[in-house]
Amino acid sequence: MRTAHPVSLPEGLRRLVAETWASRRQEELDAALRFARLADALEKLGAPESLVGLARRAAEDERRHAGMCELMARTYGQEVLSPVPVSARETAPPELSFPEQVLYEVVAACCISETESTAGLTSVLAVEGPPRVRAVLRDILRDEVAHSRLGWAYLAHASREGSVAFLAPLVPAMLEQSVSPRLFAKDAPEAESPILLAHGVLPHARKVEVFVQALRDVVFPGLERCGVDTSHGRQWAEHQRVSGAA
């Protein structure tokens, strides 16, 4: 199937695609800061050097991704971009100990966010699109897979060192932090257009499906294998799904 050149997209779709790539740029910039902080924290905790190295490499990957996303956003006509962040937002509950805070952030950032990103990018790449778009998506996907593996490797390491069961009631908060508040809400009609897929954007309904499926097939089973009860997370996901469908 032939795909439209970006400049020939209907205005509403072009703007949506541009905004999506601009939003990805911001997410990648935030992730770069988060991984840099996590690398220092993992080193301080005496984590395996291989995992510390993966975290430092992930920070570099995310900075590179941000540049590619900015280029794509501008290609689709985005003129104004958000300021470059200077610090990573703290997400772990302050009442946790330092090792627990680090584990919380690794699980939230890698086991959940990066795994979900991998699922979304894989779905988008299943559809043919402009070569430039596909090249960027493939580059980002390759790295997101590695970032996800970092999280699962560290969670497995932590579970061998002691109990990680304390994470169970915190999983819903991690999930809340990993998604846009609009994910389970109704969106504009153009957000459902199948044309979006060719330009690196999942239609809204498909985005919800991919998110929920990745939780059920990958995230929740992975957490359970390491000793984290996922009943709280499953209840959260079901509540969001039903609420969004209402």
Residues 2-53 have pLDDT tens digits of 444 454 789 999 999 999 999 999 999 999 999 999 999 999 999 999 999 9
Instruction: Supply the mean pLDDT for the chain.
Output: 93
| Residue at 51 is within a domain | yes
CA-nearest of 88, 28, 86, 84 to 58 is: 28
CA distance 51 to 30: 20
| Residue at 55 is within a domain | yes
pLDDT under 50: residue ranges of the chain: 1-5, 7
What total number of domains does the chain contain? 1
Per-residue model confidence (pLDDT) at position 182: 79
pLDDT, one tens digit per residue, over 122-136 is: 999 998 989 999 999
Per-residue model confidence (pLDDT) at position 78: 94
Domain containing 102: what range? 6-245
What is the three-class DSSP state of 201? coil
Per-residue model confidence (pLDDT) at position 246: 52
Token readout for 233 is: 């997370």
| Residue at 12 is within a domain | yes
Q: What b/e string do you get for 35-70 counting C-beta neighbours within 10 Å, with b at 16 or more? A: bbbbbebbeebebeeebbebbbbbbebbbebbebbb
Token readout for 198 is: 């060719």
Report the CATH number that the domain containing residue 199 is assigned in CATH.
Answer: 1.20.1260.10
Contacts 24+ apart (CB under 8 A), 233-240: 233/171, 233/172, 233/174, 233/175, 235/172, 236/171, 236/172, 236/175, 236/176, 237/175, 237/212, 240/183, 240/184
| Residue at 1 is within a domain | no
Per-residue model confidence (pLDDT) at position 244: 63
Q: What b/e string do you get for 155-191 counting C-beta neighbours within 10 Å, with b at 16 or more? A: bebbbeeeebeebbebbbbbbeebbeeeebeeeeebb
| Residue at 184 is within a domain | yes
Token readout for 111 is: 């086991």
